[in-house]
């Protein structure tokens, strides 16, 4: 049996997040600059290369595969890739195939995704106000996303809403978003904005809304009960006793989630980042492309990379500066 991937801190790596494209049909202000320069097509892994890469990770013990971008559903012929991954679900080697999306293309692809074995999707949505949505996404249209969510639920996909907490932007919508998710039977996770990439005139320190403060505001209207459950991701959960909702918090700054980190991130160019908040990475595209007849060099490169997985990241806003900032955009790593 192939030995599993174990990092230096005895954490088994069972979760791979894969960016299939750096392109997106939105330009969210905390994620991208408005005038992004995207990668040449030749630098991106082909769909066949993505299949081979992901299949190697599955063979090495990865049980959860999350497809990200950019916006993954804008990649041409992306459903070929999802359909190819179905074989790992059918064999039992892969326990879950899922994706994170802005929702803009869900109306087109929801049924096909369900047919390919996807059962859960995360939709990034930071406001229910149409004008504010247009402002923060720059190019997005809220009705299109809401129609995508409708289609996903109709197709049988479980939807979780990911909301980035942004001071001065969606503070006043906190209870509206919670109640809306309750009315739609959707899970909800709040995320602290992370210092990644040059986003032009936007100041992340001004955007930063500490989730401990957000929780305090929630507690003014609801009774919060801590939950011990983990879903394999970085979120910590509470239950709102009055509604029964489960609310997640991803807090890379106020309380990092590194001690149980079981994941690595693969970019659309074949770079493996062992930590979202560190610059260290491994080039897996070279051993993949240079050895078309054997996966052994690729496996060796993956194993070597895992030996360099750090204990944790260093994001820090506490000194009123954006410390621990990494130069790449969130869209490059895939969230």
Separation between Cα atoms, residue 232 and residue 51, nearest integer Å: 22
Listed in sequence order, the residues at least 6 apart from 13 whose beta carbon sits closer than 8 Å to its beta carbon are: 4, 5, 6, 7, 61, 62, 262, 263, 264, 306, 309
The predicted structure's pLDDT at residue 199:
42
What is the DSSP track for 56-125? HHHHTT--EEEEESS-GGGSTTHHHHHHHHHHHHHHTS-SEEEEEE-STTHHHHHHHHHHTT--EEEEE-
Hey, where are the domains in the chain? 15-161+259-333
DSSP H or E run through 306: helix 296-306
The predicted structure's pLDDT at residue 201:
45
The predicted structure's pLDDT at residue 322:
45
The predicted structure's pLDDT at residue 252:
67
Q: Are 6 and 55 in contact (CB under 8 A)?
A: no
Helix axes of 47-59 and 78-91: crossing angle, nearest 10 degrees: 20
- Tokens representing 167 are 């001071």
The predicted structure's pLDDT at residue 66:
97
The predicted structure's pLDDT at residue 333:
58
Separation between Cα atoms, residue 335 and residue 331, nearest integer Å: 7
The predicted structure's pLDDT at residue 229:
79
The predicted structure's pLDDT at residue 328:
46
- Tokens representing 305 are 């990379």
The predicted structure's pLDDT at residue 43:
93
- Tokens representing 304 are 């070597």
CATH superfamily placement of domain 15-161+259-333: Aldolase class I (3.20.20.70)
Listed in sequence order, the residues at least 6 apart from 167 whose beta carbon sits closer than 8 Å to its beta carbon are: 206, 207, 208, 209
Whole-model pTM: value is 0.88
Chunked into runs of 10 residues, the chain (335 residues) has average pLDDT values of 84 96 90 83 96 97 96 97 98 98 98 98 97 94 98 98 94 97 96 62 64 94 90 80 94 64 94 86 97 96 95 52 48 55
The predicted structure's pLDDT at residue 113:
98
Strand partners, 160: 122, 187
Separation between Cα atoms, residue 106 and residue 113, nearest integer Å: 9
């Amino acid at each position: 049996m192939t030995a599993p991937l174990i990092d230096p801190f005895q954490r088994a790596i069972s979760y791979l997040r894969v960016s299939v494209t750096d392109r997106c049909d939105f330009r969210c202000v905390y994620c991208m600059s408005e005038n992004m320069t995207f990668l040449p097509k030749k630098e991106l892994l082909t769909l066949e290369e993505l299949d081979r890469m992901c299949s190697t990770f599955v063979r090495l013990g990865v049980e959860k595969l999350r497809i990200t971008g950019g916006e993954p559903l804008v990649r041409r012929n992306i459903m070929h890739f999802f359909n190819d991954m179905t074989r790992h679900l059918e064999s039992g080697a892969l326990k879950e195939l899922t994706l994170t999306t802005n929702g803009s293309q869900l109306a087109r692809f929801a049924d096909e995704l369900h047919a390919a074995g996807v059962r859960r999707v995360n939709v990034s949505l930071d406001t229910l106000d149409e004008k504010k949505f247009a402002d923060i996404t720059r190019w997005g249209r809220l009705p299109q996303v809401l129609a995508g969510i409708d289609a996903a639920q109709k197709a049988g996909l479980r939807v979780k809403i990911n909301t980035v907490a942004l001071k001065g932007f969606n503070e006043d919508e906190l209870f509206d978003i919670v109640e809306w998710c309750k009315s739609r039977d959707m899970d909800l996770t709040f995320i602290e904005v992370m210092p990644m990439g040059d986003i032009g005139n936007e100041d992340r320190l001004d955007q930063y809304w500490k989730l401990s403060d957000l929780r305090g505001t929630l507690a003014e209207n609801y009774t919060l009960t801590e939950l011990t459950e983990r879903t394999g991701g970085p979120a910590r959960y509470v239950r709102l006793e009055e509604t029964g909702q489960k609310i997640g918090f991803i807090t890379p700054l106020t309380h990092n989630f590194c001690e149980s980190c079981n994941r690595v991130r693969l970019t659309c160019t074949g770079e493996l980042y062992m930590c979202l908040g560190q610059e260290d990475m491994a080039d897996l595209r070279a051993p993949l492309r240079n050895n078309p007849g054997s996966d052994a060099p690729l496996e060796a490169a993956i194993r070597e990379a895992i030996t360099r997985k750090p204990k944790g990241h260093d994001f820090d806003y506490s000194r009123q500066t954006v410390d621990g900032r990494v130069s790449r955009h969130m869209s490059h790593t895939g969230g």
